[in-house]
Amino acid sequence: MPMQYELDENVAVLTFDDGKANVVSHTFIDAINEGLDRAEKDAGAVIISGREGMFSGGFDLEEFKKGPEATAALAVRGFEMLTRLYAHPQPLLIACTGHAVAAGAFMLLAADNRVGAAGKFKITLPETAIGMVFPPVLRELVDARISNRHKTRALIQSQLYDPAGAVDAGFLDEIVPPEQLQEHVMAMAKKLAQLPTGIYGQNKRDSRADALQRMRASLAEAAD
């Protein structure tokens, strides 16, 4: 999973492009963790971006085909990644460059600010459609970010949203023309990076403390 790490003034940019669906694999998760570690040392805000037309298509299904143990191992690491994103002490922004499916859509829910590229892109939680249940970590993110008006459609009915619909549902905060996406998100990140990092992180942790406690408890249970 090629991940490019760039520092623009005090904003760390993590850009993923595997040439395909930017699947959430072990390599992807390792790269996210490495990028966040670096950002905490040398940046004031973080942007996560995909390639043009594709943010992330979700978990690596090739890994899931290896059997229940491989599936569980990747899923737990993915849930740990989402929990870390949700608790990250710096402003965390996502430039949603295209499709965001399953774990890709949950990354949107875990970020502080989510800006999408306008276009014929799909944002969806397909778990019901593909026969999967939502574990506690994922339900916490849905409860935190998805509009009550959309919870049945998004969570239970696997509705496909276009970017405009994704704003209404709560996956995204706004959409902009694709050619403006990176510049727009960078301007937001540089502004947010001026906030005092320690206070930003403390207020984030305090405001999300109950949800994070439940998420981490479920992860600990899964690890037993």
Write out pLDDT tens, residues 97-145: 999 999 999 999 999 999 999 999 999 999 999 998 999 999 999 999 9
The share of the chain scoring above pLDDT 90, in percent, equals: 92
Tens-place pLDDT, residues 73-84: 999 999 999 999
Query: Rounded CA gap, 35 and 22, in Å?
Result: 16
The share of the chain scoring above pLDDT 70, in percent, equals: 99
What's the Cα-to-Cα distance from 88 to each of 46, 61, 68, 203, 215, rounded to whole Å? 9, 27, 30, 11, 14
CATH of the structural domain 3-179+194-223, one choice from 3.20.20.60, 3.40.50.300, 3.90.550.10, 3.90.226.10: 3.90.226.10
Residue 62: predicted pLDDT: 86
Residue 223: predicted pLDDT: 74
Specify whether the CB–CB gap between 67 and 35 falls below 8 A. no
Q: Where are the domains of the chain?
A: 3-179+194-223
Residue 185: predicted pLDDT: 98
pTM of the model as a whole: 0.96
Specify whether the CB–CB gap between 96 and 116 falls below 8 A. yes
Q: Average model confidence (pLDDT) for the chain? A: 96
What's the Cα-to-Cα distance from 81 to each of 88, 98, 111, rounded to whole Å? 10, 21, 12
Tens-place pLDDT, residues 172-211: 999 999 999 999 999 999 999 999 999 999 999 999 999 9
The DSSP string of 20-34 is S---B-HHHHHHHHH
